[in-house]
């Protein structure tokens, strides 16, 4: 595991500077420390095919150590195995479990899709959140899962089939166009937006931050606003949407959220899930309700994430 000083030297200088502009020195140290080593292997059971009790029994019989996740009964942190070890298990190859980061499990839990509802997943590949929502809905209702990239779309279809998520229809469209194609159509919309991925940075894995630049952050924020408008248009009046990213900067999080509240008929609502690692959004000089959004700082078990829940009026 690297020291905070070593992490600073490895990551892009401009990125580290931006952290100090937005966070207290103590929080920056916590973030950099969370990027200093490898993250834990985490997964959730697919309750459409299996139960958490059966999964725990199976893992114990294979001498795989695990820890429960207090805010999600169907999730586990694996203590003594890597992802590739889990991928060799029969329960993985039968779609009984899904390897997924813990913060990635949060947006569907916050959206709370119910049986019989119509849900849009705007940027869905590889399908971790799509299949989780199908599970939460007990395969009753309808999920339209969209992905722009054709290769990623194939991966999405594969995962949907593997997990037995029968209520999912996969489409290959530009997310910005969905609001026009399906106006006022969905009870709930998940916009897990394409982002700069700062929350996933690992100092020892240059692939995680090689493509980062301040310019790309600005370009992505423009795309996120277009997708937000499209999500809003696709949502029924009275419907609920979740906006999430796996990044840490305010340009892609609070600034996009503030733009949406100023320009669309949306109101931020409370997130009920209690996550120890969550901190409130930045509210200085903003509508105080933005503080209802939550940010998760990177750690050994969690990558960095941002989640906000909104209602259309």
Residues that are catalytic: 246
Q: Are 152 and 125 in contact (CB under 8 A)?
A: yes
What's the rounded Cα separation, in Å, for the pair 263 and 257? 10
**H or E segment to which residue 26 belongs:** helix 25-33
Two tokens, residue 125? 């590949």
Contact 296, 304 (CB under 8 A): yes
Nearest alpha-carbon partner for 75 in 13, 147, 136: 136
Look at residue 95 and give its three-state secondary structure.
coil
| Residue 178 DSSP one-character state | H
Sheet with 66-69, strands from edge to edge, namely: 66-69, 72-78, 41-45, 97-99
Contact 256, 247 (CB under 8 A): no
User: Residues near 18 by Cβ (< 8 Å), separated by ≥ 6?
Assistant: 214, 249
Q: Which stretches of 264-304 are DSSP H helices?
A: none
Exposure string over 32-66, b if 16+ CB within 10 A, otherwise e:
bbbbbeebebbbbbbbbbbebeebeebbeeeebeb
């Amino acid at each position: 595991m690297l020291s905070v000083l070593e992490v600073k030297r490895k990551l892009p200088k401009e990125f580290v500077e931006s952290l100090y502009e937005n966070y207290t020195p103590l929080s920056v140290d916590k973030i950099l420390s969370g990027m200093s080593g490898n993250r834990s292997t985490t997964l959730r059971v697919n309750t459409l095919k299996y139960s958490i009790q059966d999964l725990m029994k199976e893992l114990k019989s294979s001498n795989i150590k695990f820890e429960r996740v207090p805010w999600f009964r169907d999730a586990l942190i694996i203590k003594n195995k890597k992802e590739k070890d889990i991928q060799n298990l029969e329960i993985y190859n039968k779609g009984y479990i899904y390897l997924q980061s813990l913060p990635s499990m949060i947006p569907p839990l916050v959206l709370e899709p119910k049986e019989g509802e119509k849900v849009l997943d705007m940027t869905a590949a590889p399908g971790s959140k799509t299949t989780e929502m199908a599970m939460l809905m007990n395969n009753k209702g309808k999920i339209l899962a969209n992905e722009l990239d054709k290769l990623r779309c194939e991966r999405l279809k594969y995962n949907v089939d593997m997990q037995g998520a029968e209520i999912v229809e996969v489409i290959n469209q530009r997310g910005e166009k969905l609001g026009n194609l399906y106006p006022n159509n969905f009870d709930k919309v998940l916009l897990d937006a394409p982002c700069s991925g700062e929350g996933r940075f690992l100092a020892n894995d240059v692939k995680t931050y090689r493509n980062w630049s301040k310019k790309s952050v600005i370009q992505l924020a423009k795309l996120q606003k277009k997708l937000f408008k499209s999500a809003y248009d696709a949502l029924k009046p009275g419907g609920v949407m979740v906006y999430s990213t796996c990044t840490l900067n305010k340009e892609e999080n609070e600034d996009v959220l503030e733009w949406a509240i100023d320009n669309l008929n949306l109101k931020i609502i409370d997130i009920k899930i209690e996550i120890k690692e969550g901190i409130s959004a930045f509210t200085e000089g903003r509508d105080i309700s933005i503080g209802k959004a939550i940010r998760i700082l990177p750690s050994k078990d969690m990558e960095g994430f941002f989640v906000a829940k909104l209602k259309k009026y």
